[in-house]
Chains A and B, each alone.
Chain A
């Protein structure tokens, strides 16, 4: 059994967000992090590895610096890493991205008892589409929003979150599961793991590596192969500032409440 985990490096939008003059995101000026949901997927895989001794392969599509993130995942305990990186892959929407990742996963090899894990969604795009679309391209069943995963042989039982509760679902391997960050608390890298992570295998798949796969075609990857395009992008306007109250004591609070009262807000 082997676990293949798809991971994305994303700009840290929770911290300082840099926006360029033209209103687009200045990715270079921002810290990058491993997407939270994806870390939960890695942790889920490592817990299964702890229990069964199976192999964990992490795979990411992104620019060359994403290698740093993959090394960190190796330091957490993953066994092998694959970086899918090529100029031809740039500008891909979720459809095109899933084509490329599905081809890369096929190249890694999906055995009968393997499980593919993804994060539910990435914080930069928030689409939650790539996981299910990879599953479709690989013709394997999917379960999204996993909040608990149990593996027994080739049978996987998953607690899938709904807005108003949850479903317990059972599926046979090979399958794809997307994980939410509530699934677990990702472990830290260990000092020993860090000392080993640069010795572990990390392969780079470029366009040449994958071009023979039927999923990889100029019409299905990159900007040109993406069914969706950006029509316009814009910044939301800033709402005009309101009234700043003087002080922060009892008198201030009473003044505020009397304003709210006069305006029939309360």
Chain B
């Protein structure tokens, strides 16, 4: 076992930290207050190769590894949860499924544009009636009479990056399957939808509790026409593709949660050293010290789960359960830690003058999206109790 980062990973981490401190942190409060998608930050990250970190150079990627990608989400989330999830959704939920399931033509066409940040990516699975129960899909795709185009109808909700994305991985029903016992189930397939496709539109923007700069919108398909070669993976394999994609996405969200917890702890250490009550900094109170010690230990534990899941994905080992554990623990740690940090800040922590209340709001979503904590428990228990 080797718990050391490589020379390159250390250098990449250093670069992320400098970038986050100088470019992301100064905007974090404004992005939250104004519910504004930080387009300028995305352009800067794209220039540094951060929109295609672990994809090979031949597809326009930076040629680094999955852990370097995870660290990007972590480091950005330390100062701005919104920025963290932009990278995560773009990379894990759009570029990754194309890289892992796409035809050579699809990879050659989409990946360079996604990796360079020219296009931003998103992923559409959730529908009004199909959240955790992803089988409840209503969106349909049917081939037209000539057999040349797919016609999509339906809608998707809560889609991260939607307002700014150019490429969407969308799940739709392409038929009905009947098993040997005569039971019917929906056949789901994955498609690559582009923003300008006729009949496609982005609907209402959600007003959220946290990650308020993240663009979360509805996707609407009204006789949306896409060429036949835009199917991603094989027909009928869409559900498996979506689940596998979410396994990868969970590592990204776990990294976001990890970063939020680490960022809140950093802010709290600095604040408690400055804040004087009863004639001395509150950092000198044992309650403060023990709270921070406990939070730090739990956050480090979460970090090992997150990094371990990343390394398993990197090494092409099964990582579905690892990703679920990482997300479960990191998300719950983030919620717990940020809440305790607000408490240590006292009244100031509850004001928007300090970042910890924002981090607390941002942390909550990590327990919900890309599979709630309950879904993660289902995945884990399913694996250990089969």
Which residues from chain A sit less than 8 Å from chain B, CB to CB? 71-72, 75, 188-195, 197-198
Contact = CB atoms under 8 A, between A and B. Distances in A.
A193 B7 CA distance: 13
Contacts of A194: 8, 11-12, 15, 64
B380 interface: no
Interface in B1-25: 7-8, 11-12, 14-15, 18-19
Contacts of A191: 12, 15, 48-50, 53, 62, 64, 68
B19 A190 contact: no
Contacts of A189: 11-12, 14-15, 48
Contacts of A192: 49, 57, 62-64
Contacts of A75: 11, 15
A42 to B, nearest CB: 15
Interface in B60-117: 62-64, 68
Nearest to B8: A194
B6 to A, nearest CB: 10
6 contacts: A71-B11, A72-B11, A191-B12, A191-B64, A194-B8, A194-B64
B47 interface: yes
Given A190-B48, A191-B49, A191-B62, A198 B8 contact: yes
Given A71-B11, A188-B18, A189-B11, A195 B63 contact: yes
A191 B49 CA distance: 5
Contact of A188 (B48, B53, B57): B48
Interface string B10-50: 01101100110000000000000000000000000001111
B47 to A, nearest CB: 7
Interface of B: 7-8, 11-12, 14-15, 18-19, 47-50, 53, 57, 62-64, 68
Contacts of B15: 75, 188-191, 194
A83 to B, nearest CB: 16
Contacts of A198: 7-8
A189 B64 CA distance: 14
B49 to A, nearest CB: 4
A191 B11 CA distance: 9
B382 to A, nearest CB: 36
A138 B363 CA distance: 59
B11 A190 contact: no
A89 B57 CA distance: 41
B49 A190 contact: yes
Contacts of A197: 8, 11
B19 A195 contact: no
B252 to A, nearest CB: 16
Contacts of A188: 15, 18-19, 48
A26 to B, nearest CB: 22
A188 B17 CA distance: 11
A195 B64 contact: yes
Most chain B C-beta atoms within 10 Å of own C-beta, residue among A75, A191, A195: A191
Contacts of A193: 49
What are the nearest 6 A-B pairs in CB distance?
Answer: A191-B49, A191-B62, A192-B62, A192-B49, A189-B15, A190-B48
Contacts of B12: 189, 191, 194
B64 to A, nearest CB: 5
Most chain A C-beta atoms within 10 Å of own C-beta, residue among B12, B53, B64: B12
Given A188-B19, A190-B47, 6 more contacts: A75-B11, A75-B15, A190-B62, A191-B50, A191-B64, A193-B49
B13 to A, nearest CB: 10
Nearest to B12: A194
A19 B47 CA distance: 40
Contacts of B7: 71, 198
A192 B62 CA distance: 4
A189 B50 CA distance: 11
A197 B63 CA distance: 12
Nearest to B53: A191
Given A188-B19, A189-B15, A190-B62, A195 B8 contact: yes
A76 to B, nearest CB: 9
Nearest to B11: A194
Nearest to B13: A194
A75 B18 CA distance: 14
A188 B53 CA distance: 15
Contacts of B50: 191
Nearest to B61: A192
B83 to A, nearest CB: 15
Nearest to A195: B63
A3 to B, nearest CB: 21
A192 B58 CA distance: 12
A136 B187 CA distance: 78
A192 B115 CA distance: 11
Most chain B C-beta atoms within 10 Å of own C-beta, residue among A72, A75, A192, A197: A192
Contacts of B8: 194-195, 197-198
Contacts of B11: 71-72, 75, 189, 194, 197
A75 B7 CA distance: 12
A20 to B, nearest CB: 25
A91 B107 CA distance: 56
